[in-house]
Amino acid sequence: MAKYHVGVDVSKHKHKVYIRNLPQDSYSGVFSIDVNRQGFERFSTTLGKLSPNKEDFLIGIEATGNYGITLAYFLLAQGYKVVEINPYRANQFRKAQGKKAKSDRIDARSLATLLSLENHKSLSLPDPVLDNLRELTRFRADMVKDRSALMNQLHETLSTLFPEFATVFSQLNSTTSLALLISYPSPEYISRAGEAKIAESLRVASRGRMGETLAKSLVEAAQNSIGVLQKQPALAIRVSILGERIVSLTGAIKRVEKEIADLFHQLPYKPEDFPVGDITSLATLISEIEDIHRFPTLKQFLSHFGWCPQSFQS
């Protein structure tokens, strides 16, 4: 059983620490940890002076963004037991103590006291492959979300600039469509280029699958467009840049997907072992699950992924 409860209030450059001595029911004075190697090692030395036995310590770090991750990994590698404290729970506990004011000193002491309560999330060093897979799959999800937002902006801009474009290209996010919009981002550009140049651009972008027929339709649509004429200079720039950003982001997503696939193949799994899902989807699930036994119930497992099945009846 731990003899010392250590509360760490994290911030960007300095962490505040309070240590509670349980046998004596006393607290140390608050002290700071610099967020660097020297600061972390001094913290470890301070704990070692209290007791050389790492099992004598329970260290609580409030889950506030990424500021506490480096310290948590450092302490776990040193062999300390580290738990994650829910910020809402910490705030309610502080208020229940009658401390309405908020400061690093008060927060660190409250965290040290809060550790006496149970049900904190224990942290452990994850498998390196799963750890990196989780980072990459989450990063990919963010990029896909960003790309969707850019596509929505492109749709909205074209609805003012060149609403007929969507009737010619059913898939606005296709490689050919984006390449054309980057080079010829408005009805005026397409009309001035003419069918021959547009057809050549289409052939190059589509690798010969599209050409004269589509070019003719595009030029006719451009010449008869109901797009707002006076906004064309500004919106054309916007369309071209949005197209470039979408293409660049798509390339970055493919690069991350390749890294995800390479990491997935280091795991003792094969895609064919699963009934559904591509490698990216499987990697996302496996990296988030880690050890499925850490979920006591199916409901908690589903909630972790945001899956909340409900029944709807009229």
From the number of C-beta atoms within 10 Å of its C-beta (0-12, 13-18, 19+), residue 46 rates as middle
pLDDT of 109 higher than 60: yes
For 307, phi then psi, to 5°, come to: -90, 110
The predicted pLDDT at position 314 comes to 47
Residue 291 has pLDDT above 70, yes or no: no
Sorted by where each begins, the domain ranges of the chain are: 4-125, 133-261
What is the tens place of the pLDDT at every residue in 186-227?
Answer: 999 999 999 999 999 999 999 999 999 999 999 999 999 999
What pLDDT does residue 272 have?
A: 82
> Is the distance from CB of 191 to CB of 219 less than 8 angstroms?
yes
| Local confidence band at 292 (pLDDT 50, 70, 90 cut-offs) | low
Secondary-structure class of domain 133-261 per CATH: mainly alpha
Mean pLDDT of the chain, nearest integer: 89
Check if 4-125 and 133-261 are the same fold. no
Model confidence, pTM: 0.83
Helices vs strands, H then E, count in the chain: 12, 7
Mean pLDDT along residues 221-242: 96
Second CATH level (architecture) for the domain 4-125: 2-Layer Sandwich (3.30)
Would you state the pLDDT for residue 160?
Answer: 97
**What integer pLDDT is reported at residue 99 of this predicted model?**
57
Packing angle of the helix pair 175-183, 187-206 (nearest 10 deg): 140
Q: What is the pLDDT of residue 239?
A: 98
